[in-house]
Amino acid sequence: MSTDALLEVEELVVRYPVPRGLVGTVARREKQTVHAVDGVDLTVRAGEMVALVGESGCGKTTTAQAVLRMVDPVSGSIRFEGRDITRLGQRTLRPLRRRIQMVYQDPYESLDPRLRVRAAVEEPLLIHGLGGSKGEREERVREALARVELSPPDLFLDRFPHELSGGQRQRVAIAAGLVLEPHFLVADEPVSMLDVSVRAGILRLLDGLKRSGLGILMITHDLATAARFADRIAVMYLGRIVEEGPAASVIRDARHPYTQALLSVVPRRDPRDHHKPVILRGETPDAVRIPSGCRFRPRCPAAVDACALEDPQLRRPAGAHPDQRAACILA
Amino acid sequence: MSALLEVQDLHVWFDLDDGGELHAVQGVSLAVDAGERLGLVGESGCGKTTTALAIMGLLPPSASVAGRVLLNGDDLLAGGEATMRPHRWIDISIVFQGAMNALNPVRRVGAQITEALELHRQAKGATAEARTAELLEAVGIPAARARRFPHELSGGMRQRAAIAMALACRPRVLIADEPTTALDVMVQAQILELLDGLCREFGLALILVTHDLPVVAHLCNRAAVMYAGEIVERGPVDALYHEPRHPYTRLLFSATPDLEDIDEEVVSIPGAPPRLDRPLVGCPFAPRCDSVFEPCSHVRPRLRTLETDHAAACHLNDAVPAAR
């Protein structure tokens, strides 16, 4: 693993206004805000895969959208390859965009059904005005297909998405990102729509790209996948990262009660495994009214009175891995 | 004694537009008893949902069905709609895949369940409303939320409502098709706990249709693994994991990452399932199998019972004497 930070997010805050509707506006109801991302620090290095895990609504997708500059943060900073991109205009961003590419969850929707593989993978080159002549572009398309192990490329170039399996489609979608030679990939649930038998293939492909030097931010709710493939895991709850560290330490020595509960409810393959799941009641509170003190307190099985007083910050728990941090006063 | 629900040699064919036929289910047999939880596992297109719909008699007109679906020994398929109708929703019920998103968006959740009760002449008026409150409580929805609209409920609560609706007529068999697939892991745990409780408390027989092996390992006592329209292995979940007798079962487990063994290699299964619109020769899994040998390419293996309640359709077991 190299040590150069590719992406550095500091104190990121993203809020959305809640529409009050006509009645609410006329009645001058109080304006409400969704605190989607509420102070997130995140670093991804070149050659590293970081998994951002958490339940729906925890802010993991919003964090990724902010990194991609698809939503504007209220405060905080996003640095990419050392350059502050938090406030860059769309025109200045454009050359940077090809360095940061996205892999979407559903390859059935992310590919244009009318475009052959050749055109789908070539399109990003045309949009960015790259690749030179037609022949040179074709060469780059072939290289990209080879990198995603769709070989020989001739077998795939003229096919339409509907002629491909789910796994092959996801490979084409990844190739369409790779053709721009990005340094950084954001993969949002890249295998959750795929069959079990092909998931490992896509994950190993991403793993290979990471080993070749790309930084990857993988958003997932699947802890077992994160545990196996990510170098580091960051667990989000209600807009905050509540625990992060090297994947193996977070999985084997989780210190935050939320991480512990999440890990305990992941079904294991072995039917003889009878560990007791810690099932949290209710749902994540909505991000409009964030509880005072520790935001996990109302659902926390370990909460004590002191948890109401302080909003705990990430710090290294005693005896934990040197790079592991948890936001819990009891950790 | 025969099981509560027994499916024998079920076949389903779909007519294709080009005049051909797709043999989606190719001789499936399974049984489930009161209080039992059976997992029906496989990848997309393996026929697990088609099997579930055939059991319910809910396939479209383009499908032809053969075989028997026995409820306490009575064949529900024997007389078509006339023999199926008295039992559908009443004795056998299903929670469809995505049911939580199929609730009527403009009607209150409670009213939708009351309507189901009245339609099936289970109860009327105040009795039906009382029964609705009872059902909602059984699935863990606070009575006050009966007056909410579906969009006012979380995904987990909507899934509970869909389960309550399927249970409206007190069925003895419940089929749940991917009931936790779109849910977060914590909500999944809550729904699995609910299904487990329903089986234990009310003796409900559950058929859990899913692609998720760990979910089956967690909730079910027995499972049937489907591939290319047939059951390739069937048995207690413990035996399927610890002593799989079909390479597909073994490979599916190794393709699934596990928190207990995070350094383990996770391996994909190369290739894709065969097309079912043409006759299959030999073992349907042979082209993807890592243990393929001489007979696999031309002799189709039959599902054979190898040990008590453990059967597999694989030539590797040819030398094993059949068990009872």
Task: Quickly list DSSP for B201-243.
Answer: HH--EEEEEES-HHHHHHH-SEEEEEETTEEEEEEEHHHHHHS
Q: ∠ CA A67-A195-B187 to the nearest 5 degrees?
A: 65
What are A's interface residues with B at a Cβ cutoff of 8 A? 55-56, 165-167, 195-201, 203-204, 221-225, 227-229, 247-248, 251-252, 261-263, 265-273, 277, 279-280, 283
Range A263-271 average pLDDT: 95
Burial annotation A218-231 (CB, 10 A radius, 16+ → b, else e): bbbbbbbbbbbbbb
Q: What is the pLDDT of residue B1?
A: 54
- What percentage of residues in chain A have a pLDDT greater than 70? 99
Do B164 and B180 reside in the same domain of the chain?
no
Tokens of A129: 């005005």
Answer yes or no: do B138 and B85 share one domain. Answer: no
Q: Is residue B288 in a domain?
A: no
Query: Please, which pLDDT band fits residue A286 given cuts at 50, 70 and 90?
Result: confident
Check whether residue B60 and residue B80 sit in a common domain: yes
Domain identity same for B127 and B189 = no
How far is Cα B232 from Cα B48, in angstroms, rounded to an integer? 12
| Domain A100-181 -> CATH class | alpha beta
Q: Are residues B189 and B162 in the same domain?
A: no
Specify the residue for token string 């967690």.
Answer: B218
A22 CA: distance to closest CA in chain B (Å): 19
pTM, two decimals, is: 0.92
Place of tokens 């509707």: A21
Which residue in the set A204, A251, A283 is minimally distant from B156, CB to CB? A283
**3-class secondary structure, B72:** coil
Closest residue by Cα to residue A179 from A226, A220, A235, A139:
A139
Domain that holds residue B155: 104-168
Enumerate the residues of chain A whose CB falls inside 8 A of the CB of residue B156: 283
In terms of domains, do B12 and B84 share one?
yes
Interchain pair B186, A200: CB under 8 A: no
CA separation for the pair A284, B178 (Å, rounded): 23
Tell me how far apart the alpha carbons of residues B126 and B105 are, in angstroms, rounded to a whole number: 23
Which pLDDT score, from 0 to 100, does residue A1 have?
39
Q: Is the pLDDT of residue B184 over 80?
A: yes
Q: Do B148 and B190 sit in the same domain of this protein? A: no
Share of chain B above pLDDT 70, in %: 99
Q: What is the ipTM, given to two decimal places? A: 0.90
- Closest chain A residue by Cα to residue B252: A197
How far is the C-alpha of A46 from the C-alpha of A5, rounded, in Å? 6
- Tell whether B196 is covered by a domain: yes
Is the per-residue pLDDT at B49 higher than 50? yes
Burial of B2 (0-12, 13-18, 19+ CB in 10 A): exposed
Q: Mutation target for B interface from A270, A275, A300: give the one with most B CBs within 10 A.
A: A270
Contacts of B237 in chain A (CB under 8 A): 271
Q: Last residue of some domain: B168, B184, B207?
A: B168
Task: Kindly state whether residues B177 and B141 are assigned to the same domain.
Answer: no
A55, A229, A269 member nearest B253 (Cβ): A269
- The pLDDT of residue B324 is 61
3-state secondary structure of A167: helix
Are B261 and B272 in contact by the 8 Å Cβ rule? The answer is no
Q: Give the strand pairing for B230-236 and B222-227.
A: antiparallel
Q: How many CA atoms lie within 13 A of A175 on its CB side?
A: 31
Say which amino acid occupies A279: I
Question: Which run of H or of E encompasses B181?
Answer: none
Sheet of B5-15, strand order: B21-32, B5-15, B63-71, B74-75
End-to-end CA distance of chain A: 28
Distance from CA of A271 to the nearest CA of B (A): 5
**What pLDDT is recorded for position A3?**
53
| Helical residues (DSSP H) of chain B, grouped into ranges | 48-56, 81-84, 109-119, 125-138, 155-166, 185-202, 213-219, 237-242, 247-254
Residue B96 lies in a domain: no
Residue type, A283: E
| Chain A environment of B246 (Cβ under 8 Å) | none
pLDDT in tens, B227-262: 999 999 999 999 999 999 999 999 999 999 999 999
* Residue A131 contacts residue A144 (beta carbons within 8 Å): no
Which residues are A84's β-sheet partners?
Answer: A79
Point out the residue among B154, B262, B269 whose CB comes nearest to the CB of A251: B262
Answer with the residue of higher pLDDT: B277 or A56: B277
What is the predicted pLDDT for the residue at B51?
Answer: 98
- Alpha-helical runs (H) found in chain A: 21-26, 60-67, 90-97, 107-110, 117-127, 134-147, 166-178, 196-211, 223-229, 247-252, 257-265
Residues of A in contact with B217 (CB under 8 A): 267-271, 273
Question: End-to-end alpha-carbon separation of chain B, Å?
Answer: 15
Tell whether B192 is covered by a domain. Answer: yes
Distance from CA of B135 to the nearest CA of A (A): 19
- Out of A165, A261, A283, closest to residue B272 by CB: A165
B123 plus B25 within the same structural domain = no
pLDDT in the model for residue B40: 98
Dump pLDDT digits (tens) for B191-224: 999 999 999 999 999 999 999 999 999 999 999 9
For A73-132, the pLDDT digits (tens) are: 999 999 999 999 999 998 899 889 999 999 998 888 889 999 999 999 999 999 999 888
User: pLDDT tens digit string along B309-324?
Assistant: 999 999 999 988 877 6
Q: Is A2 exposed, middle or buried, given 0-12, 13-18 or 19+ CB atoms closer than 10 A?
A: exposed
Tell me which chain A residue has its CA closest to the CA of residue B259.
Answer: A224
pLDDT of residue A151: 85
State the CATH number of the domain containing residue B200: 3.40.50.300
Q: Measured between beta carbons, which residues in chain B are less than 8 angstroms from residue A266?
A: 185, 214, 259
Choose the closest CB to B185 out of A251, A262, A268. Answer: A262
**Closest partner residue to A251 among B211, B241, B259, by Cβ?**
B259
Rounded CA gap, A103 and A93, in Å?
A: 19
Answer whether residue A2 shows pLDDT above 50. Answer: no
Is the Cβ–Cβ distance between A62 and A238 less than 8 Å?
no
Cβ–Cβ of B255/A197 closer than 8 Å? yes
Q: What is the mean pLDDT of residues B71-93?
A: 95
Quote the CA–CA distance of B167 and B160 in Å, as a whole number. 11
B247 in the same domain as B206 = yes
CB pairs under 8 A between A and B: 121
Q: Which two tokens stand for residue B37?
A: 């939880």
Q: Is residue B248 part of a domain?
A: yes
Q: Cα–Cα distance between A246 and B280 in angstroms, integer?
A: 48
Domain boundary among the residues B252, B268, B284 is at B268
Whether residue A152 is preceded by a cis peptide bond, meaning omega within 30 degrees of 0, is yes
Write out chain B residues lying below 8 Å of A270, CB-based.
Answer: 217, 241-242, 258, 260
- Please identify, among B268, B288, B313, the residue that sits at the C-terminal boundary of a domain: B268
Residue A114 phi/psi, 5-degree rounding, is -90, -10
- What are the structural domain ranges in chain A? 5-99+182-326, 100-181
pLDDT above 90: percentage of residues in chain B: 86
Task: Label residues A258-268 b or e (16+ Cβ within 10 Å = b).
Answer: bbbbbbbbbbb
Token pair belonging to A95: 């050359």
B36 and B145 belong to one structural domain: no
Which residues of chain A does B256 touch, with a Cβ-Cβ cutoff of 8 Å?
A: 196, 224, 269
Tally of CB atoms within 10 A around B309: 13
When divided into structural domains, chain B yields a total of 2
Best of B48, B97, B160, B185 to disrupt the A interface (most A CBs within 10 Å) is B185
- Helix H, strand E, coil C: the string for B86-138 is CCECCCEEEECCCHHHCCCCCCCHHHHHHHHHHHCCCCCHHHHHHHHHHHHHH
Buried-exposed string B271-284: b where 16+ CB fall within 10 A, e elsewhere: ebbbebeeebebbb
B→A interface, C-beta within 8 Å: 43-44, 154-156, 184-190, 192-193, 211-215, 217-219, 237-238, 241-242, 251-253, 255-260, 262-264, 266-269, 272
Look up the CATH architecture of domain A5-99+182-326: 3-Layer(aba) Sandwich (3.40)
Tell me the shortest Cα–Cα distance from B269 to chain A, in angstroms: 5
* Residue B95: pLDDT over 50: yes
Same domain for B85 and B196, yes or no, is yes
B271 pLDDT more than 80: yes
Q: What's the mean pLDDT in A168-182?
A: 95
Partner-chain contact A223 B259, CB within 8 Å: yes
Residues A270, B258: C-beta atoms closer than 8 Å: yes
Give residues with Cβ within 8 angstroms of B57, minimum separation 6.
B69, B76, B77, B81, B84, B85, B88
Q: Kindly state whether residue B116 falls inside one of the protein's structural domains.
A: yes
Can you tell me the mean pLDDT for A39-65?
A: 94
